[in-house]
């Protein structure tokens, strides 16, 4: 067992409960590697999902915050809505919620960068030159606003936005996390506060008014204010509008932190409108204004750009299918994989998983899936996954020589880290171990290059195909593959398939 916080070690009951929880997790293919205090919400466990070969975060509220079946049902419902968002560069992925050792838990993406709150405390947030630091702060502001725009579009209100629930994926990007856990903050129309959470709550949350998306707007603005003031310097979130005015009046600068841009101060002031009905409520608009602020200051686009959701649509469907497979929901697994292949017929993971599901029912691996994986391997020359997936399926089919050739092709284009994954999957195929695979997670870095350039190349390729200029279309499509993050775009793959590349 990994070392627990000192407070937990002092309590024998907690240790016993932890051991029971770890034993239950082990039966469900989770290996707990670390446990953290999650504040008022309970414990957070870092665990290795042995089937997926990735780290996940397992979180559960303290039992006293989910007292009855209605609250537990609401928790699972919100987690399911969170999970339905799929992959997003600015939202931590929720795989599913379930009960483990009698506790309602959410299994979510584990992010190694820690939270914005951690980065404020250890000052990682303020490293580099003043220009680098300010660009980073604005990019985090934009990325979290884009994430909340996506959530609100799905009618998902967070209710506990704060720096601790913004998880860093790189120097300039953050993801919003812990949507489902906020249900414990809304009990019978009342709002629970604990520690620093109260410092980021909107005024109407204290007054037990109806919850609307406007509460997240106020809390997001309070979080941005905390980044520029080197942490929360106030006790009540209802005071944030006054704190902002005084901060700007004093020069808008904290020690060793770049001054807050006037344009950002105006945005935050609009977010601190005390009447929820008059408060700015469109996070998409807020994100665009932050990006405009960055461009005016530095003469270049903000690193955190509006995501191309079409790029990740098939990935999201595939990963939702893998999550539902963990819950033995096979009809939904098949539906989601079929939908993923409708969106992107050459999607590597969806083709591989569909083949495995057929094999698990004693159906010979379909040649169509193997052929598609060969096609996508030719398209994405530097991508090892289609080759190793093809090798895996060929091995299951008894085509050993072809399987070894495909495995060697995967090794040719793989990095040292990827070689380990190739060897793992190759061994699983030799053992006939049928594990579905996730599409790789994404972050803001996937959108660091110009999505506008990609769209222009796609438009040129479509026109060339329509006019019968196949060579020109091929050239445009190959050029688009050089844009990081966009080589696997479903639209690009469909066009490549159309010209038989």
Do 19 and 127 lie in one domain? The reply is: no
Pair type for strands 190-191 and 54-60: unpaired
Tokens found for residue 182:
């906020």
Q: Collect all residues with Cβ–Cβ distance below 8 Å to 105 and sequence separation of at least 6.
A: 58, 59, 60, 97, 98, 99
Tell me the pLDDT tens digit for each residue of 212-253: 999 999 999 999 999 999 999 999 999 999 999 999 999 999
Quick check: is 1 in a domain? Answer: no
CA of residue 333 relative to chain centroid, distance: 20
191 found inside a domain: yes
- Predicted TM-score (pTM) of the model is 0.87
Distance from chain centroid for Cα 42:
22
User: Averaged over 138-166, what is the pLDDT?
Assistant: 94
Query: Are both 152 and 56 inside the same structural domain?
Result: no
CATH code for the domain in which residue 124 is found = 1.10.510.10
pLDDT in tens, 430-452: 888 788 999 987 666 666 556 77
The verdict on residue 308 lying in a domain is no
- Residues 86-113: pLDDT tens digits? 999 999 999 999 998 888 899 999 998 8
* 306 domain residue, yes or no: no
Bridge-based pairing state of the strands 166-170 and 186-187: unpaired
Q: Are residues 339 and 460 in the same domain?
A: no
User: In the predicted model, what is the mean pLDDT of the chain?
Assistant: 87
The verdict on 326 and 352 lying in the same domain is yes
- Identify the CATH number of the domain in which residue 426 sits: 1.25.40.10
Residues 423 and 339 in one domain: yes
pLDDT tens digits, one per residue of 466-491: 999 999 998 999 888 888 778 888 88
**Residue that finishes a domain, picked among 73, 89, 109:** 109
> Taking 80 as the threshold, does the pLDDT of residue 37 lie above it?
no
Residue 428 lies in a domain: yes
The token duo for 265 is 């101060």
Domain membership flag for residue 87 = yes
- Domain final position from 298, 328, 344: 298
Percent of the chain with pLDDT over 70: 89
d(CA 395, CA 48): 27
C-beta atoms surrounding 166 within 10 Å: 27
User: Which whole number is the average pLDDT over 408-418?
Assistant: 91
Backbone angles phi, psi at 91, to 5 degrees: -135, 130
Whether residues 277 and 173 share a domain: the answer is yes
Residue 303 within a domain: no
- Residue 170 is predicted with a pLDDT of 74
Asked if residue 479 belongs to a domain, the reply is yes
**pLDDT given at position 399:** 92
Residue at token pair 């303290």: 62
Q: What is the mean pLDDT of residues 273-286?
A: 94
Domain boundary among 49, 84, 109: 109
Q: Are residues 269 and 396 in the same domain?
A: no
In terms of residue numbers, what domain contains 331? 313-442
Dig out the tokens for 309 from the structure: 């959701």
- The phi and psi torsions of 341 (rounded to 5 degrees) equal -75, -20
What's the domain count of the chain? 4
Task: Provide the β-strand partners of residue 59.
Answer: 44, 106
Together in a domain, 217 and 143: yes
CATH code: domain of residue 97? 3.30.200.20
pLDDT confidence of 186, banded at 50, 70, 90?
low
Same domain? For 221 and 291 the reply is: yes
Helix (H, G, I), strand (E, B) or coil at 170: strand
Do residues 330 and 435 share a domain?
yes
Residues 349 and 284 in one domain: no
- Looking at the structure, tell me whether residues 455 and 412 fall in a common domain: no
pLDDT of residue 352: 95
CA distance 148 to 165: 12
Beta bridge partners of 58: 45, 107
Q: With 90 as the cut, is the pLDDT of residue 354 above it?
A: yes
């Amino acid at each position: 067992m990994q070392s627990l916080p000192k407070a937990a070690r002092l309590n024998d009951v907690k240790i016993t409960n932890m051991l029971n929880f770890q034993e239950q997790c082990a039966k469900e293919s989770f290996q707990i590697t670390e446990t953290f205090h999650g504040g008022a919400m309970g414990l957070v466990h870092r665990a290795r999902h042995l089937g997926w070969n990735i780290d996940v975060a397992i979180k559960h509220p303290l039992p006293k915050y989910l007292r009855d079946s209605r609250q537990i049902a609401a928790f699972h419902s919100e987690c399911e809505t969170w999970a339905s968002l799929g992959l997003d560069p600015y939202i931590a992925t929720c795989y599913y919620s379930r009960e483990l050792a009698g506790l309602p838990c959410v299994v979510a993406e584990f992010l190694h960068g820690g939270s914005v709150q951690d980065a404020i405390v250890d000052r990682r947030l303020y490293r580099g030159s003043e220009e680098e630091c300010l660009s980073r702060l604005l990019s985090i502001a934009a990325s979290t606003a884009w994430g909340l725009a996506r959530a609100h579009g799905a009618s998902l209100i967070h209710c506990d936005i704060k720096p601790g629930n913004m998880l860093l994926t790189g120097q300039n990007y953050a993801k919003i996390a812990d949507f489902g856990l906020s249900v414990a903050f809304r009990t019978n129309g009342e709002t629970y506060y604990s520690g620093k959470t109260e410092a980021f709550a909107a005024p109407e949350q204290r007054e037990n008014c109806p919850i609307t998306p406007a509460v997240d707007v106020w809390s997001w603005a309070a979080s941005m204010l905390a980044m520029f003031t080197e942490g929360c310097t106030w006790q009540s979130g209802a005071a944030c509008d006054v704190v902002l005015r005084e901060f700007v009046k004093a020069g808008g600068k904290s020690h060793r932190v770049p001054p807050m841009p006037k344009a950002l101060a105006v945005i935050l002031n609009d977010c601190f409108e005390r009447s929820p009905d008059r408060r700015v409520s469109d996070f998409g608009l807020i994100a665009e204004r932050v990006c405009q602020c960055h461009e005016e200051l530095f003469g270049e686009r903000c690193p955190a750009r509006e995501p191309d959701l079409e790029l990740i649509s098939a990935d999201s469907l595939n990963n939702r299918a893998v999550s539902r497979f963990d819950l033995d929901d096979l009809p939904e697994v098949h539906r989601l994989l079929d939908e993923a292949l409708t969106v992107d017929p050459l999607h590597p993971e969806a083709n591989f998983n569909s083949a495995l599901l057929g094999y698990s029912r004693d159906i010979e691996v379909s040649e169509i899936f193997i052929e598609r994986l060969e096609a996508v391997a030719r398209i994405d020359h530097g991508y090892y996954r289609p080759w190793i997936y093809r090798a895996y399926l060929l091995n299951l089919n008894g085509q050993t020589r072809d399987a070894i050739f495909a495995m060697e092709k995967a090794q040719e284009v793989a990095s040292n880290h990827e070689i380990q994954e190739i060897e793992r999957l190759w061994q699983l195929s030799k053992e006939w171990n049928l594990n579905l695979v996730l599409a790789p997670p994404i972050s803001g870095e996937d959108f660091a290059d110009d999505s506008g350039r990609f769209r222009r190349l796609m438009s040129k390729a479509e026109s060339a195909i329509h006019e019968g200029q196949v060579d020109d279309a091929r050239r445009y499509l190959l050029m688009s593959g050089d844009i990081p993050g966009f080589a696997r775009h479903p639209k690009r793959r469909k066009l490549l398939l159309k010209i038989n590349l």
